[in-house]
Amino acid sequence: MAIDAGDTAFIIICTAMVMLMTPGVGLFYGGMVRSKNIISMIAMSFISFAVVSIQWVTIGYTLSFGSDISGFIGGLDHLFLAGVGLEGDGIPDMLFMVFQLVFAGVTLAILTSGVAGRIKLSSFIVLGILWTTIVYDPLAHWAWGGGWAGELGALDFAGGTVVHISSGFGALALALVIGNRAGFGKYSMEAENITTTLLGGAMLWFGWFAFNAGSALAADGLAVNALVVTNVSAAAGAITWMFAAWAMGKPSSLGLISGAVAGLVAITPASGFVGPMAAIFIGGFAGLLCYGALLFRVRKGLDESLDAWAVHGMGGFWGAIATGIFATASIGGVDGLIYGNTHQFLIQLLDATVAMIYAFVVTYILAVIIDKTMGLRVTEEEEYVGLDISQHGESTTA
């Protein structure tokens, strides 16, 4: 099959839209921290994207999509993009490469939230490069690059395990290693720039259409299905979280937008396999589940600061399972539990569990090593004045 202009147009634009999610993550998280750390949060998203951009075109792509080695990792045949050309099947190979690049970039940006307001910039850069190489790249290979999970038949349409379970449980591990922010639980650490968070959330919602629909890799009915279920799931998540928060107090806008993100996360692996009515349930349940996880996390006194674990980790896990429950052969060719396919459900459970354990354990070890060598955390005084000044020499008020 030759290059199709429609499909190529589609994936080029989707690539740009997914790229916009990375600063979107930065703004989303930046609004949630105290003003003294807002530049740091946004800057880390840009830095994540920049370093992954270089890592991916040199080594990352080939580790993920090079010829399979034991189901675990890709070979080095595409080192420095060797053999990745402007020809391809429907879309150029090079376009597939860059579409995958933007996924890797945004995943690392999500990871930053667990260490908000206390990580040393230099250590973050080193950690980030290593993390994307030894956590993200294998996971991408497993699911999409010919690795064991894909071979087994695990379904992950747009990255429930690869992007969300990895970053969510990774952030949890990081938060455990780096420790709570100074004064956590004693001082107020309320979101200080909610409008920034809402703007970031809007950018995420927008970009997510490309994230999921683009994962069809063609402008076809499957892409349209992904588009529709993505939107419906986000809306349902926003609504359930909002009402749950309302029942316990006030319907905060942070709850609303967090619920939308929860819905978006949960539908990600499922978006090529389920229909709109299932999506209402998947998203609506994600809103409740992730809100519950957040409350649990707070009760435990754990400073996984901006809830990547609760939203991306737990939401991603639910999404992987939900794919095994609600998948229908009429859309993606595979049936799930409710259509009698217990097998698929078990595969999903296995895949999600392995991804969760791998991401958590490897991230934990990596963080400990960096902590012992470079030191993961800024000094108390640097944390006190904020990372904007201490790491970047900048401040939002002149």
Partner 1 sequence: MKTVKAVIRPEKLEDVKAALEEKGYFAMTVTEVKGRGAQKGICLQYRGKQIKVDMIPKTEIEMVVGDEDVRPIIEIVRKSARTGKFGDGKIFVYPVDIVAAIRNDDEIVSE
Amino acid at 247: A
Site for its own copies in 194-223 (CB under 8 A): 194-196, 198-199, 201-202, 205-206, 209-210, 213, 218-223
Site for partner 1 in 363-382 (CB under 8 A): 379, 381-382
DSSP track, 142-199: HHHSS-HHHHHT---SS-IIIIIIHHHHHHHHHHHHH-PPTTBTTB----S-HHHHHH
* Residue 36: contacted member of partner 1, its own copies, none (CB under 5 to 8 Å, by partner type): partner 1
Q: How far is CA 163 from the centre of its chain?
A: 4
State the Cα angle at 226 between 225 and 229, rounded to 5°. 85
Nearer to its own copies, 101 or 172 (CB): 101
Residue 393 binds its own copies (CB under 8 A)? yes
In whole angstroms, give the CA distance from residue 327 to residue 264: 17
Nearer to its own copies, 5 or 186 (CB): 5
Site for its own copies in 58-77 (CB under 8 A): none
Site for partner 1 in 8-27 (CB under 8 A): none
Paired with 69 in beta bridges are 73
Nearer to partner 1, 2 or 380 (CB): 380
Q: How far is the CB of 105 from partner 1 (least distance, A)?
A: 29
Q: Which of 178, 107, 168, 190 is nearest to 314 (CA)?
A: 168
Residue 188 binds partner 1 (CB under 8 A)? yes
Residue 276 binds partner 1 (CB under 8 A)? no
Site for its own copies in 88-107 (CB under 8 A): 91-92, 94-95, 97-98, 101
Q: How far is CA 32 from the centre of its chain?
A: 17
Which of residues 212, 230, 323, 390 is near partner 1 by CB under 8 A? Answer: 390
Residue with tokens 């992954």: 52
Residues touching its own copies, count (CB under 8 A): 104
Residue pair 355/379 in contact (Cβ under 8 Å)? The answer is no
Binding piece for partner 1, criterion CB under 8 A, among 63-71, 90-98, 139-147, 389-397: 389-397
* Residue 54: contacted member of its own copies, partner 1, none (CB under 5 to 8 Å, by partner type): its own copies
Q: Print the binding letters for residues 37-56 with its own copies: x by CB under 8 A, - otherwise.
A: -xx--xx--xx-xxx-xx--
The H helix count followed by the E strand count for the chain is 18, 4
Q: How far is the CB of 146 from its own copies (least distance, A)?
A: 22
DSSP track, 54-109: HHIIIIIHHHHHSSEETTTEE-GGGGGGTT--S-EEBEEHHHHHHHHHHHHHHHHH
Which of residues 75, 85, 153, 183 is near partner 1 by CB under 8 A? Answer: 183
Residue 193 binds partner 1 (CB under 8 A)? no
Residue 389 binds partner 1 (CB under 8 A)? yes
What region does 244 belong to: left with phi over 0, alpha with psi -120 to 50, or beta? alpha
Residue with tokens 């409710």: 338
Q: Which of 318, 309, 308 is nearest to 288 (CA)?
A: 318
Structure tokens, 71: 């189901």
Residue 72 binds partner 1 (CB under 8 A)? no
Nearer to its own copies, 44 or 356 (CB): 44
Residues within the interface to partner 1 (CB under 8 A): 35-36, 183, 186-189, 250, 379, 381-382, 384-385, 389-390, 393, 397
